[in-house]
A and B are shown apart, each in its own frame.
Chain A
Amino acid sequence: MSKQVPETIKKQVKRSFNSKEVKKEKNEKRVKLLKEIQSKAFKRAEKYEKEYLEQEQKLVELKQKALKEGSFYREPEPKLAFIIRIRGIVGVPPKPRKILQLLRLRRIYSGVFIRLNKSSLRMLHFIDPYVTWGYPDVETVRALIYKRGHARVNHQRKIIDSNEMIYDKLQKYDIVCMEDLVHEIYTVGKNFKHANSFLWAFKLKPPVGGFSTVKKSFVNKGEHGNREQYINTLVKKMI
């Protein structure tokens, strides 16, 4: 008896949105898009490398100039901080607890980037005993996003495994690749909010070599509170 295909299946195949031609077309489009993204990524990465270098050199220049003139150069105040929660969730009073929640620091050794302004500094003031924070440099930001960067996609935490992922979500903010993301975060650009909220809170490991004492502030040979540029060494131990 010859194999008869049911009418409904025949119709479905004809009507199908997943037919071979449609799939092929979609695939071609996707491949083209990926190429575009990668070429953009290359160019932008190049641009940013130059930019970071120039920034450094400019800073050095200005300092030297000031020294020559006999005056002082006051560096611009940092715009970006990286906060790491270093205390657990037991016994946290309601105000710090709420602020930690708002900053997405819901578990110990979780880290987030934050834009520094008067309001956020006041928030940090309340949660100082529970966190340590500082001003990350480019390499720290890079390491965090490359190695431990997870994206918030469909209410899920997915590791960033390609620029396509970033393109899909942040294309409208002109962020299409990893370096774009790093740049946006590091320089606290116009779309810092979106770049930062795209990133899930970083889940770091306990530091290699341990902490001295979390009960004391960093200034008092402890660990909590603002540790400015020493956050970079700490992140290297925790990443």
Chain B
Amino acid sequence: MTTQQLRPIVSVFPIKGKVKTIKQVPLPSVFSAPIRPDVVRFVHTNMAKNNRQAHAVSTTAGEQTSATSWGTGRAVARIPRVKGSGTGRSGQAAFGNMCRGGRMYAPKKVWRKWHRKINTNQKRYAVCSAIAATAVTPLVMSRGHRVNKLPELPLVVSDQLQSLTKTRQAVKFLKFIGAYRDVEKVIRTKKTRVGQGKYRNRRHVLRKGPMVVYARNLGIKKAFRNIPGVETASVYTLNLLKLAPGSQMGRFIIWTESAFKLLEDIYGSWEKPSKFKSGFYLPRPVMVNTDVERIIKSDQVQTVLRNRRPRSRKYGKKIQRADPYEDMSVMVKLNPYYKTKLQKQKELEEKNKKERKEIVDKSRKEYEDWLYFSEEEEEEEEEEEEEGSDEDREIEVLSDEN
């Protein structure tokens, strides 16, 4: 893995006076460790089990009777019943988990596995992740810390902080650096615990405020001890349960300068192993560049991809079309010749009709002609027969004319 040749610079601030950079130090390699919430969650859930105290139910609870079952034939359930008489308890069911005053189902034992072993490397991985997360402002903010007014994150402060002895001085420093808002939040949100812990000496619940990490305790521990929400820790023994409370990464940490510098030695880098944890190198990320969207959209990737297949929208939708034999527009779309065909058929029909009409007319005419002609013949015959009475008729005609 190629390390960053150029390490980013972090400003060191004084503990009073003016908020300005008095020095600049390089960012230790730990802060570039991969941020793995899954690892932190796993380690945290198991680590949190390690400060549990054993509890169990009394071994004799519910068993301190000499109850025996009455057997069958007595019109009662076959559960063991308390022997004897003269008291309300006699004849009552005993022993079963369903019985009143009986022992519970699977009585809890002290030899339950209370603690969990976690692989050392996993523990160290989680701590590295958690430390890296403390430098990521969005993570710290999402954890709920009020870090808007800070000059910088990670917040590194001069070593003079380690020599503070008075709480007043500590509070003044926190106000000076802009971290007191977080403390105010803690004070404001102090509540009575919900649940039975309140009468088990765990009455109040406090949020977590800033954590001050030092290299040498020259009074700093006592100075910050009484400020609600603030925790102190030595850089040599950073606790995951404090770095990622509730397995939520991004604790607000105030580093002293020497503590900050020591991180490089304590956790090492990818090239140089840790000086304090034997054989430990910083964990390597699975992906160096996790901005997957950016990788996919980069020129190097996009130019090598094949063209996107065109979405064949024409076949995509369920297309309903009308019946071509009822809707002419659909028919013409499928068979552009159809209209012409109909026309031609029509023309042909009309032509045939005309021809037929002609033939019919012709034959009708012929028939009529024939009829007329035959009538004429008949008339002529009739005329020949009636020739005798013709003169009389003529005379009559003449007389009419007169």
Contact = CB atoms under 8 A, between A and B. Distances in A.
B336 A11 contact: no
B319 A15 contact: no
B319 A143 contact: no
B246 interface: no
Contacts of A128: none
A141 B294 CA distance: 57
B331 interface: yes
Given A45-B341, A146-B331, A38 B336 contact: yes
A220 interface: no
Interface string A175-205: 0011100000000000000000000000000
Interface string A28-54: 000000000011011001100100000
Nearest to A145: B334
Contacts of B402: none
B307 A17 contact: yes
Interface residues of A, number: 30
Contacts of A146: 324-325, 331, 334-335
Contacts, number: 67
A158 B323 contact: no
A8 B334 contact: no
B111 interface: no
Interface residues of B, number: 26
A153 B337 CA distance: 26
Contacts of A46: 337, 340
A177 B337 CA distance: 11
A233 interface: no
Contact of B315 (A41, A45, A153): A153
Interface of A: 8, 11-12, 15, 17-18, 38-39, 41-42, 45-46, 49, 143, 146-147, 153-154, 156, 158-165, 177-179
CB-based closest 4 A-B pairs: A45-B337, A8-B297, A161-B321, A42-B336
Given A12-B302, A154-B312, A159-B320, 4 more contacts: A17-B308, A46-B337, A146-B335, A165-B315
24 contacts: A8-B293, A8-B294, A11-B297, A11-B302, A12-B302, A15-B302, A18-B308, A38-B336, A42-B340, A45-B335, A45-B341, A46-B337, A143-B325, A146-B334, A147-B324, A158-B315, A159-B320, A161-B319, A161-B321, A162-B333, A163-B334, A165-B314, A165-B315, A178-B334
